[in-house]
């Protein structure tokens, strides 16, 4: 019989576990596992496991190649599960050996969710544990595994969204580990509090919603009808998710992607079905909504989303919820009392998020404790960034719904030698939607080839 306790044990810190290689079209993949300290300031203490997938072009599998490590957006998402060489990966494989890292707590790395966090103890112990899941710990993970893969040579980092926040911290904390830093949709403010982030965010979100309704004017009435139904009827989706009107509004998170407006339109167009009891939200609509809103696959996004902005003694204190009150146009009940369009929201986590989602409900007190913390350490070293010598290039999307362009450009000016590509050709997901073009442009900028 399998001993599960033994099966979950990991090797001593620094020792890479058995790797497995296999092929997909045009690429050789190798699954790798590493053991790192939970707290890098206590290397002899508790350890966790990291999973990463190495990718190399089939015709270069035996070649000596420089490494590129990819840091996924989030927080809380594992690295892309590519099939073959799509999007930016094909361009990267022309010259790099790529490491797709599942950041701590995500993907196939040691998980942090409602099932595993109770192993830590109560909410206070869980919150203490989760303080080790920010950009600073992720960068120290990278530095712990880099010598095992590169023999000590620096590597290139490609950071998408929150991965760009991590790359910016990398430049602050361990620039000697980098040969170049490429950032797409992820240059953070170096000193903004979460309140500043959301005060800048809500007007951008409102613009995205206005653009959606301009494209699909029929969705104004559809969204209002759904919201009115939710205000009158308690709605629980098949997975146990409580679909309140505020939760419905949060579907606007998709508007930050290149195809998001079209996806939202198709979701809204067939929301209702006739039943013997009258109109009801269709099973198909409910299935799509619960898939879009559930945090079961990425609970860390909700748990530490505001903590990624914590850098001083001020608590984040459910910033998105507090700041939302400054923008009454997002109040659905007030909107429905008149005849205006319902505003969607996005890229924000609220206390009610934990009440609605069954994957998060057991973690509500843990989230409250994280929101109340006042001991966050700074993530960015302005003096070191001002003296930066690492080649850096960043794509800044002109009206990015998730990351404020003005904040990003201010940071770009603060990092010595950073070159920007400001574009409105793509939304926040440009590195995926743009195929090889975005990575190709960033590489050229970092090498002074354009």
Catalytic residues: 161, 375, 428
Tokens matching residue 307: 């903590």
Asked whether the beta carbons of 431 and 159 are under 8 A apart, the reply is no
Q: How many Cα atoms within 13 Å fall on the side-chain side of residue 428?
A: 28
């Amino acid at each position: 019989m399998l001993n599960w306790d033994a099966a979950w044990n990991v090797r001593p810190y620094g020792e890479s576990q058995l790797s497995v290689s296999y092929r997909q079209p045009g690429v050789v993949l190798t699954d790798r596992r590493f053991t790192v300290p939970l707290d890098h300031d206590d290397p002899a203490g508790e350890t966790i496991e990291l999973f990463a997938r190495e990718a190399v072009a089939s015709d270069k599998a035996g070649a000596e190649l420089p490494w590129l490590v990819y840091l996924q957006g989030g927080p809380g998402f594992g690295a892309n599960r590519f099939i073959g060489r799509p999007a930016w990966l094909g361009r990267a494989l022309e010259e790099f050996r790529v490491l797709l890292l599942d950041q701590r707590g995500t993907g196939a790395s040691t998980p942090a969710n409602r099932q595993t966090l109770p192993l830590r103890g109560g909410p206070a112990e869980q919150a203490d544990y989760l303080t080790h899941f920010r950009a600073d710990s992720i960068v120290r993970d990278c530095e712990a595994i880099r010598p095992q893969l590169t023999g000590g040579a620096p590597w290139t980092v490609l950071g998408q969204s929150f991965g760009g926040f991590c790359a910016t911290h990398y430049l602050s904390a361990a620039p000697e580990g980098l040969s170049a830093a490429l950032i797409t949709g992820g240059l953070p403010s170096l000193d903004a509090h979460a309140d500043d982030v959301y005060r800048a965010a809500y007007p951008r979100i409102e613009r995205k919603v206005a653009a959606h309704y301009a494209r699909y004017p029929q969705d104004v009435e559809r969204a209002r009808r759904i919201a009115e139904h939710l205000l009158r009827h308690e709605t629980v989706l098949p997975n146990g998710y409580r679909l309140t009107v505020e939760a419905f509004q949060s579907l606007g998170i998709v508007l930050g992607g290149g195809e998001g407006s079209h996806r939202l339109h198709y979701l809204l167009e067939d929301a209702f079905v006739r039943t013997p009891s009258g109109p009801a939200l269709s099973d198909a609509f409910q299935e799509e909504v619960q898939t879009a809103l559930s945090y079961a696959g990425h609970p860390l996004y909700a748990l530490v989303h505001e903590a990624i902005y914590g850098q001083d003694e001020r608590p984040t204190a459910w910033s998105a919820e507090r700041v939302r009150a400054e923008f009454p146009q997002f109040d659905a009940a007030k909107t429905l009392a008149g005849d205006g369009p319902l505003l969607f929201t996005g890229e924000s986590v609220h206390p009610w998020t934990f009440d609605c989602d069954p994957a998060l409900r057991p973690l509500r007190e843990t989230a409250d404790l994280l929101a109340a913390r006042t001991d966050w350490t700074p993530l960015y070293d302005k003096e070191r960034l001002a003296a930066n010598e690492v080649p850096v290039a960043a794509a800044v999307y002109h009206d990015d719904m998730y990351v404020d362009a003005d904040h990003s450009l201010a940071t770009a000016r603060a990092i010595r030698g950073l070159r920007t590509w400001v574009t409105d050709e793509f939304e926040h997901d440009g590195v995926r939607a743009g195929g090889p073009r975005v990575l190709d442009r960033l590489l050229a900028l970092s090498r002074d080839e354009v």
